[in-house]
Structure 1
């Protein structure tokens, strides 16, 4: 199949592209700016999901869409909710309408903490969950072929780095912890660290998106959202400990400590963000086959040690 990937130059998008090519699909990368070079089996479509005409033009030339494009962030979208509402709701509606027009299958990136919408945890969660509701409406009344895929915190090599170590505007747990530990700074944890915030290796997330899309093409959308996460949960303190240990091994330094900071707006004390991994069976997958947290952290910290750290130290 020829598959459009909205937000295809993002972190998860880059792995979805690799997974699609590995399975023999052609890829059309739909994004606002050409940042990464295309490879054999790929083409680039310059566009914005808020532009209805551009989205419909994409849909006219593909067999399915993996819809990843979104405005991210928790506290960032509380301070400025309009961009996330515009992109995540209206942009997703454009994708669903275009898919309906051309009878396309869609794998839509939902949000792993969708249950927190009731707590008003941020426009990101609210807007992404709203788009899930629209996806269900299209499936129920518009012959939609949309499968909702809800990954928890995806992590792995190539994830963007936020200040003070990089230019990303959204702080992600793996690069934030790894960059501090590799430079000898204590890891900063918001709250007491006992909150459960499950992480899933990005390659497993990409496999779930592509498998969900292929399943929808053969069998239609799944009855329930496909939740993608590890078989066993962990706390933020557990993740920090693993990162500190691996960074110490790579640098030869003593493991850094952990500093606890006040929680930020949109973060909930004692929260439990985990996936109902039984939903993976709908597409023939199992969390038992996923990369373990220990192995995933090892690969991730090694990436930042070899690919990020030398440039940072030389700057």
Structure 2
């Protein structure tokens, strides 16, 4: 199967492309940034923005299926500047769904793990991603060619994830890079709020497996009845995650584990929030969260990656 991957140069997309290749599929990488130098020999590159309906339709014409990941990310960032996320996450998704319906393509859409927050107040990222879920359901119900499965991963993490300031150039702060970089450089780990909130994390290889499995399922059976939620069996607090990161960083650096500093929560973040997943929904595509990489093992692999691949360059700068 030739699979169009929108936002195909991103972190999760890079792992999905590996999974596609391992299963004998071919990726068509669509991205608005020209990063074709990072492609495998078997992959094609399509330089385009999902906000361009003509470009999306042209790319879809060459595909047998679509995994739609392209989005403007960020909680605080989309509150202070909501228009880009609305244009990309809603209109861009509409363009993808319309092209998929035109060519009758099985499609997997990347939903958002904290979708329920839109009912109690959150950033434009969650609002717009959830709106696109509603569009997907509309296509499945009322449009010929509507074959869209929604996959909702919680916080994906793992090797290769981008690093935000002050340690890197990414504009969006992600939990594992932020915690790992501080711990590896001997700085206290910063946790927003009291750290008792649940913010489940899932290893990126398991996320990639779920997306590709969902696409194969949709190609054969049509869309799943319910969104597929990808996360761990056991929920853990942000304090738990910070402790594990600190312990693994200490083992690698030979220092004592760094402390934790609690900061005020930022706009769009909710005290005592629970971001978790209904792992029973994985059974729709034949997966079991019991087979996922355990949090302790995944954090070890991730901290080791930042220690080996990121830290030397940072210290030398």
TM-score per shorter chain, which class?
A: over 0.9
Paired with 1:149 and 1:309, the residues of 2 have a C-alpha distance of: 33
* 2:205 equivalent to 1:203: yes
* TM-score between both structures, scaled by the size of structure 2: 0.99
Q: Residue 18 of structure 2 aligns with which residue?
A: 18
Q: What SS does structure 2 have at the residue aligned with 1:149?
A: strand
> Does the CA-based 8 Å contact 1:120-1:126 persist in structure 2?
no
Q: Residue 42 of structure 1 aligns with which residue?
A: 43
Shift of 1:39: 1.0
1:283 pairs, out of 282, 285, 296, with: 285
Paired with 1:304 and 1:94, the residues of 2 have a C-alpha distance of: 37
Shift of 1:305: 0.1
Q: What SS does structure 2 have at the residue aligned with 1:168?
A: coil
In the TM superposition, what are the counterparts of 1:184-263 in structure 2 within 5 Å? Answer: 184-263=186-265
In the TM superposition, what are the counterparts of 1:1-315 in structure 2 within 5 Å? Answer: 1-35=1-35, 36-143=37-144, 144-315=146-317
> Does the CA-based 8 Å contact 1:201-1:296 persist in structure 2?
yes
Q: What SS does structure 1 have at the residue aligned with 2:284?
A: helix
Tell which deviates more after alignment, 113-122 or 261-270: 113-122
Q: What SS does structure 1 have at the residue aligned with 2:8?
A: coil
Q: What SS does structure 1 have at the residue aligned with 2:262?
A: strand
Q: What SS does structure 1 have at the residue aligned with 2:18?
A: helix
> Does the CA-based 8 Å contact 1:181-1:243 persist in structure 2?
yes
Moved >4 Å (runs of 4+): none
Shift of 1:38: 1.5
Shift of 1:37: 2.1
Deviations 1:186-238 (A, max 9, x none): 00000000000000000000000000000000000000000000010000000
Shift of 1:6: 0.2
Q: What SS does structure 1 have at the residue aligned with 2:293?
A: coil
* TM-score between both structures, scaled by the size of structure 1: 0.99
Paired with 1:33 and 1:182, the residues of 2 have a C-alpha distance of: 30
Shift of 1:41: 1.6
> Does the CA-based 8 Å contact 1:151-1:228 persist in structure 2?
yes
Shift of 1:92: 0.1
Q: Which runs of 5+ in 1 are unaligned?
A: none
Paired with 2:116 and 2:136, the residues of 1 have a C-alpha distance of: 17
Shift of 1:119: 1.9
Paired with 2:86 and 2:115, the residues of 1 have a C-alpha distance of: 15
Tell which deviates more after alignment, 5-14 or 29-38: 29-38
Deviations 1:85-132 (A, max 9, x none): 000000000000000000001000000000001122000000000000
Q: What SS does structure 2 have at the residue aligned with 1:230?
A: coil
Shift of 1:40: 2.2
